[in-house]
Amino acid sequence: MTSDALIPLHTGRQVRDAEAPLLDAGHGPGLMSRAAHGLALTVLRTLRERTGRVYGTTVTGLIGPGNNGGDGLFALAALRRRGVDARAVLLRDRAHAEGLAAFRAAGGRIDETVVRVADVVVDAIIGTGTSGGFSLPEVRGLAEALSRTSTAVIACDVPSGVAPDTGAVAGEAVRADVTVTFGGTKLGLAVGEGAQLCGTVVPVDIGLGDHLAEVAERSARRRMLVVADPMPGGPDARDHKYSRGTAQVVAGSPRYPGAAALTVGAAVRTGCGMVALHASGPILDRTIARHPEVVGADHDISERVRAAAVGPGIGDDPGQVAALHRCLDWAERTGGRLILDASALGLLRDRVAAPPLPVGTLLTPHLGEMRALLRAAGRTDLLDSLESDPVTAVESLACHLGCTLLLKGPSTIIAAPAAETLIHRTSAPGLATAGSGDVLTGILAASAATAPARVTTARLAASAVHRHAQAAHRLDPEGRGRFGASSLIGALGPAGEVSAGR
């Protein structure tokens, strides 16, 4: 497993600022050469994977007028030299002069249409310069080529039409199978519609080095989680059930009895010394019959509890609402980690209106619950940006509330005050099913109970989200969504782990 499983994410502005001193020093051609080389290598690898060969294959480049088109033209020239029938469709009456000259010198052909049998279409129309609406060019054969399953679409830097900083799409956009991104992985490839349109992301180092690191250090840091980092420690021969950590769960009510079983089942499967459940007698008895290792929780929170999770299925049950407030007081008094999900989020209006929340609190809303939290916090100014720029909205509310915030979705965004923002991008549509969030809450509870104190809440949350997604992929590798939330528990593999951070 790699030691650095978090990819830094950058805005288009950050990359342009890092390029500026190199461009001023005359290194522009070198930057473009490295970008084109990385693009060409990715096209060659895709051709081999798709067709089993390189020589005699056909690649069509959609070439815009700027540097993005230049990257594409230099890459097409390199492909010509490898025996690829590389062609270019110029979408404006001008093109990058040096790139066009190199393409023609390599024997490249300018076409008016997209070749019907193209094995790969390269989208080099517009990159990080995207602003406002974008419409796909009216090129004969383009729609057919982009819709053919045997044609791979490879985007240059970002899919045309995707805002590089937010992933928003104002008009139309290209859907890519692969996106080759230059200098730094763009934030818009991890969130919003961009995360669903970019396909596999291939970062290419073009030599920005310390320049990009300096620019990023002066602004907000975001990282995309790719795999879970190994977490130091874990149970060993000297541990006992209390030293491994106890998680207390407040879940279930007569209206939603199954939520308790889903939450504690996931907590038990994730692994900790003890799981205690607070629920009414019939629900507690039913859950313990299914998970006999679970114990009933007293009204007072045990001093051994390291983490508490409250919310799945509690509705407005008076006993569970009272338990929520006891857990909030416990977190305020001890600094213990507290996960609040589902029904608990709707019961927080008074506390959200008068922040901060206890510092160890993690809120886990979905999009609708996030809107309700913004209204309760008096931050209606962020409602519009929740759609267009969700990262900024999550970061702003996390700072306002003084706690960690996890916005669930295809790209899960995890933000905390004065910390880097983590983004977990996955494609697991089957997770959009009743009870899936309850399972995640159970994973979070056990992860928080067992993580060393030096591991941040955001990092352990990112690991839990990763493990949740892995379970869905094991059950449903083709993404058909044919499973229920209870199946996720059995599909949880080895404990998702996190590092203490850097």
Residue 233 pLDDT grade (very low, low, confident, very high; cuts 50, 70, 90): very low
Taking alpha carbons only, the member of 209, 158, 192, 224 closest to residue 19 is: 209
The pLDDT of 412-438, averaged and rounded, is 93
Q: Which domains does the chain have, with CATH numbers?
A: 9-219 (3.40.50.10260), 246-491 (3.40.1190.20)
- In the chain, the amino acid numbered 353 is A
Query: 71-111: per-residue pLDDT in tens?
Result: 999 999 999 999 999 999 999 989 999 999 999 999 999 99
Whether the per-residue pLDDT at 230 is higher than 50: the answer is: no
Looking at residue 494, its pLDDT comes to: 59
Confidence at residue 5, expressed as pLDDT on a 0 to 100 scale: 66
Residue by residue, DSSP assigns 86-142 as EEEEE-SS---HHHHHHHHHTT-EE-SS--TT-SEEEEES--TT--S-------TTH
Helix, coil or strand: residue 299: coil
Give the pLDDT confidence score for residue 226 in this predicted structure. 56
**pLDDT tens digits for 243-274?**
788 999 999 999 999 999 999 999 999 999 99
**Residue pLDDT, tens place only, 151-161:** 999 999 999 99
CA angle 431, 432, 433 (to 5 degrees): 90
d(CA 175, CA 387): 20
- Burial, 152: exposed, middle or buried (Cβ in 10 Å; 0-12, 13-18, 19+)? buried
User: Which pTM does this prediction carry?
Assistant: 0.88
Q: How far is CA 306 from CA 9, 196, 243, 478, in A?
A: 32, 37, 10, 38
Instruction: Please check the confidence at residue 497 and state whether its pLDDT lies above 60.
Output: no
Pick 79 or 479 by higher pLDDT: 79
pLDDT band at 460 (very low <50, low <70, confident <90, very high): very high
Q: What is the mean pLDDT of the chain?
A: 91
Q: What is the pLDDT of residue 365?
A: 98
Look at residue 4 and tell me whether its pLDDT is greater than 60: no
